[in-house]
Structure 1
Amino acid sequence: MGRSSTHQHRSHRTSSSRKKQRSFWKELPILIGIALVLALLIKTFLVQAFSIPSDSMQNTLQQGDRVLVDKFTPWFGSEPERGEVVVFNDPDNWLAGEPTPDPNALQTFLSWIGLMPSAEEKDLIKRVIGVGGDTVECEGTGPLKVNGKALNEPYVYPGNTPCSQDDQGGRFKVKVPEGSIWVMGDHRQNSRDSRYNQADKNHGMVPVDKVVGRAIVIAWPINRWDTLPVPDTFDQDLSARSAALTVAPQGLALAGAVPPVLWRRRLAIRSVSGRPCDRR
């Protein structure tokens, strides 16, 4: 009797184990589906991975690096700021003539869930130099100036000048319209950025609505892991208003001197014209 009950107990335990295995395999597709939905939501609304296709952002970014891009804050009205590294959709055929990648099935799947960029998406990555209302200028070898203030740019590729030395991209002075940004690569002599696209419909500017998000971290390869903070040079007050205020003291002094001068002249005129009528 004891043997029979032991056999039944073992049989029941084996049956329960088989049911658990079958239950796991039934639930696995559901779990995978949930994971894929979460990955798609993260890709669409939060963070997406992008691969660096060129050397235009050296040495900050190397070709083949994978960066994570914050797509979340733009949903709340946050706009690109000076010094940020941003990913944006091609504004007006900037990538003309560039080879189109031909991904395999695995790459297509990884891009679909956000672990790799889509081959169909024509995206670029550059650093924001000017925002709406800014005046950005450079002459010869630099320095690059924003609203009249020079930028100290340690992130520029070693051996490069802040501005390229040719006439096309080395000399410019532009006013960035509201709703747009002016972008440049850190490898200044190897970057087809806003400087070289001033003949397009946006005059080299990138509309803010073309910006996908801000690159916040280098995620791959492991030995390249690093954050992408805004450089210290952009901590100074670069606003157009502050640039105007530097001229204000002289302007105010002139404006303040004009009323007394006019008042004195008016008194002198009255004095001269009134002499014939003096009854003394």
Structure 2
Amino acid sequence: MTSDDRDARPEGDSAPTDPSTTGETSRSSLSTRLSGSAARRRERREEKAKKRKQLPVWQETILLLGIALVLAIVIKAFFVQAFYIPSQSMEPGLVKNDRILVQKVSYWGDKGPERGDVIVFKDPGNWLGPEDTQGPTSVLAKGLAKIGLYPTGGHLVKRVIGVAGDRVKCCDKKGRLSVNGYALDESDYVKQDGTRCAAPMIDCKLDVGPIPDGYLLVMGDNRGNSADSTAHMCQDPEAEQCPPTRGLVPTDLVVGKVFALVWPRDHMHRITRPSVFEDIPDPK
């Protein structure tokens, strides 16, 4: 057999292939396809990004203002709101026209005001005069008030003295209030203006309780000049037109707890609950 006979192969047969060469070719082809697919995906992402970046400036501005407005409304509704002191009733700690911040988190769920808290609440019914309910007058101020960035009118600020179940009396031989039989030393926060007792608006004859569920007894720190619970109670509890809740504040009218005085700047401070209220026993 000649060398030509040995080299000759039947028609249609192919020369043997090298397995290693075939694998490298397949991997190279797969790599090329994957690379092309990744490039196309990258191009699509870049195109989308370009479209997003093409938003006009005025549209971006409106979008940002809208987001800020929504956030402000949510903050006002659930967290913090600005108010002002409408009268002299909370002196000496809070002076008329002081700007305060009220937080609402403390009263979420079943939690309610505690004795000693300074609270903001809606008018229970003709406690405020026309000048106190006016609120902001300019268009800008009214708009800011709607979203909680400007103090609103139509609200009162008082200190909680009694909560549901409590019995509040005035006065002992020293002219002090007592809650559940515990006499309060209020010298740290009540205005000392020469009044002869802690409840002068009701002629020092206060005897309330047990306070019904869902109600609060509130008083101003300026006891001689405060249209508070005592100023709206019946002088004669036996009178026919004297319901037991008259002068009390429904808890569902409470907006929140005052936690900071923010203006004027030199008067700025945090507002906390006086320690004397921690020693009051629970009602029996």
Equivalence for 1:246? none
Decide which of 155, 162, 177 is 2:189's aligned counterpart. 155
1:273 paired residue number: none
Which structure's residues are more often helix, by fraction?
Answer: 1
TM-score if structure 1 supplies the norm length? Answer: 0.72
Number of the residue aligned with 1:139: 171
Per the alignment, residue 126 of structure 1 pairs with 158
| Residue of structure 2 aligned with 1:87, choices 105, 109, 120 | 120
Residues of 2 paired with 1:68 and 1:90: CA distance? Answer: 18
Shift of 1:25: 3.5
1:214-236 per-residue CA deviation (whole Å, 9 max, x = no partner) reads: 11111222212111111011121
Partner letter of residue 36 of structure 1? L
Equivalence for 2:246? 203
> Where do 5+ consecutive residues of structure 1 fail to align?
1-19, 242-280
Cα gap change, 1:165 to 1:99, in 2 (>3 Å): closer
Give the aligned partner of residue 105 of structure 1: 139
Aligned to 1:191: 226
Two-structure CA RMSD over aligned residues (Å): 2.3
Given that 1:130 and 1:181 are in contact with CA atoms closer than 8 Å, whether structure 2 keeps it comes out as yes
CA–CA separation in structure 2 for the residues paired with 1:213 and 1:44: 11
Q: Tell me which residue corresponds to 1:48.
A: 81
Distance, in Å, in 1 between the alignment partners of 2:253 and 2:171 is 28
Distance apart, 1:75 and its partner CA: 2.7
Partner of 1:58 in structure 2? 91
Once the two structures are overlaid, the 10-residue window that deviates more, 95-104 or 47-56, is 95-104
- 1:177-233 C-alpha deviation (Å, 9 max, x unpaired): 121110000000010100011147532111111111111111222212111111011
Instruction: Select the structure of larger CA radius of gyration.
Output: 2
Shift in alpha-carbon separation, 1:165–1:113, aligned structure 2, 3 A: closer
Alignment partners' CA distance in 1, 2:175 and 2:120: 25
- Tell me what 2:150 maps to: 116
Identity %: 44
SS in 1 for 2:112: coil
Count matched residues: 220
Q: Distance in 2 between matches of 1:203 and 1:142?
A: 24
Higher mean displacement: 122-131 or 64-73: 64-73
